[in-house]
Copies of this chain bind each other. A is one copy, B any other.
Amino acid sequence: MFKQNYPSLLLQNAVDELASLPGVGRKSALRFALHLLKQPKENVERFGQSIIKMRGEIMYCNNCNMISDTPVCKVCSDLKRECSLVCVVESVRDVLSIENTLQYNGLYHVLGGIISPMDGVGPSDLSINQLIKRVEEGSVTEVFLALSTTMEGETTAFYLYKMLNKFPVKISTIARGVGFGDELEFTDEVTLGRSIQNRQPFVPLNQ
């Protein structure tokens, strides 16, 4: 009776599109569509247009590749930031996570992915040449690799290390160890072993 169980082609198209969002199945997509149908027309217009406008008009910072409303992003154009320190991350989301800690005051470099031969992503698919150019220019003194502790993250970090090693820059990485709130009992052996080898001077919290 219904074409693919939907009473309307317009509804079906909207559900098809909404179901393309990550982690959204057809049931949730239908729920979203029926919710949108109940909203005032102008709200739904604004909903759709905000997404189209974002995709059409957003820019990527010429310097660090971060999303931005301007050709150079707010971080890169902020004079209070330490411009000799560059934190290399996989994605825009990592920048947001690091900004939320309020512990970092340098610049960023968004790779736009991670080296992953399994997914067909090689060094040339990432903004690595742009990073090397930034280092070559000479104002960068430390490159801080904040990549995931996965196989792909480690591979990418090693590749970047090989490429940047010839320049007079310090190359650092995020500290590995047992997370705050984690129990030793449930920490894997590699992490625990490394965090014994790399034990640090004791600093009480809140200091």
Contacts and interface: CB of A to CB of B under 8 A. Distances in A.
Dominant secondary structure of chain A at its interface with chain B? helix
Interface string A12-39: 0110111011111000101111111101
Nearest to A93: B34
A95 B13 contact: no
Interface string A117-154: 00000000000000000000000000000000000000
Nearest to A66: B7
* Interface range for A: 35 or more
Contacts of A68: 7-8
30 contacts: A2-B74, A2-B96, A5-B99, A7-B68, A7-B92, A8-B58, A8-B68, A10-B50, A10-B58, A11-B54, A13-B50, A14-B51, A14-B53, A16-B50, A17-B50, A17-B51, A18-B51, A21-B32, A21-B36, A22-B31, A22-B32, A23-B28, A34-B93, A36-B51, A37-B54, A37-B55, A37-B67, A45-B55, A47-B51, A48-B49
